[in-house]
Amino acid sequence: MVSRPGWGSQNTLDLIQVDLSRPVPTGLAECLSPDELARAQSFGFDHLRRRYLTAHLALRDVLSNHLACPAADVSFVKNAWDKPSIPDGPYFSLTHSDDLAVIAVDHDHEIGVDLETGSLVLTREEMAGVLSPDELEESGERDLSEADFLRLWVRKEAVLKSLGKGTAHDPSRLTVGFHAVDFDRWREVSTVDDGDRHVFHVLDIRMGTVSCAVARRDQPLSMGPLAFRRWTPPWSSSGQEDAAIDTKSLA
């Protein structure tokens, strides 16, 4: 994979945007693990398979630059709730929605990122079930738009992904609030899990009309601006774009 100077510095949070609409060239899937290939193969639709492959090739490419190793050598473990991590590696989080993915990498703190490109994945009634008592009260007092709920939802999922349990941790036990979007201010939130209090800081991320938030365990980022990059596929200048993977041969 191509080395990109400057990636992987300490005290920064790298946020990388990935376009999942591009075809994946033949040969690159070989850097994925058997598990990743099997997961890709399990998708019934080509566009879902392509999105998964591109997201995971991008994830390996980004992490290989942080670890200074070949993409195929990045090896993941998963916790009981399926959160992937790299032993002794940087913390990272991946989110995808339609043809867009975001990868967050942080060397110092556990991280969670979430984005939603479309409309709300839950109905308002279902949303009520994931609101904390404070959020329920706020939702009753204000005329909230779908955008307000989406913003709350990505904040909440970002925290739950940073915690590592996803929605297996009751989302109503966490208050992130409906406050207006704020791209500059990390807000402290906390939740109790197995008797322990866990503290996070959440930040809204500017992405046009897309709702996106990142959560960092314990401390907000204290130094420097967020590095937001667009991922350039290593094959984009190699003329391989048209030689898309024959996804039927992945298994």
User: What's the rounded Cα separation, in Å, for the pair 154 and 120?
Assistant: 10
3-state secondary structure of 45: coil
User: What's the rounded Cα separation, in Å, for the pair 159 and 202?
Assistant: 7
Q: In the bound complex, what is the minimum distance in angstroms from residue 135's beta carbon to ligand COA?
A: 18
Strand stretches in the chain, DSSP E: 13-19, 77-78, 84-85, 91-97, 100-106, 111-116, 187-193, 196-204, 211-217, 227-230
Q: Which of residues 134-163 bind ligand COA (CB under 6 A)?
A: 157, 160-161
Site string for ligand COA, 161-190 (x = CB under 6 A): x--xxxxx----------------------
Q: In the bound complex, what is the minimum distance in angstroms from residue 173's beta carbon to ligand COA?
A: 14
Q: In the bound complex, what is the minimum distance in angstroms from residue 164's beta carbon to ligand COA?
A: 5
Q: Which residue from 29, 74, 94, 130 is in contact with ligand COA, where contact means CB under 6 A? A: 94
By CB under 6 A, residue 82 contacts ligand COA: yes
Q: In what order do the strands lie in the sheet with 13-19?
A: 91-97, 100-106, 13-19, 227-230
* Closest alpha carbon to 9 in 221, 216, 183, 206: 221
User: What's the rounded Cα separation, in Å, for the pair 69 and 73?
Assistant: 6
Site string for ligand COA, 109-128 (x = CB under 6 A): -----x--------------
Q: Which stretch binds ligand COA (CB under 6 A): 65-73, 87-95, 184-192, 218-226?
A: 87-95
Q: Which residue from 18, 20, 28, 55 is in contact with ligand COA, where contact means CB under 6 A? A: 55
Q: Which residue from 81, 120, 193, 227 is in contact with ligand COA, where contact means CB under 6 A? A: 81
The DSSP symbol for 25 reads B
Which residues contact ligand COA by CB under 6 A?
52, 55, 81-84, 93-96, 114, 157, 160-161, 164-168
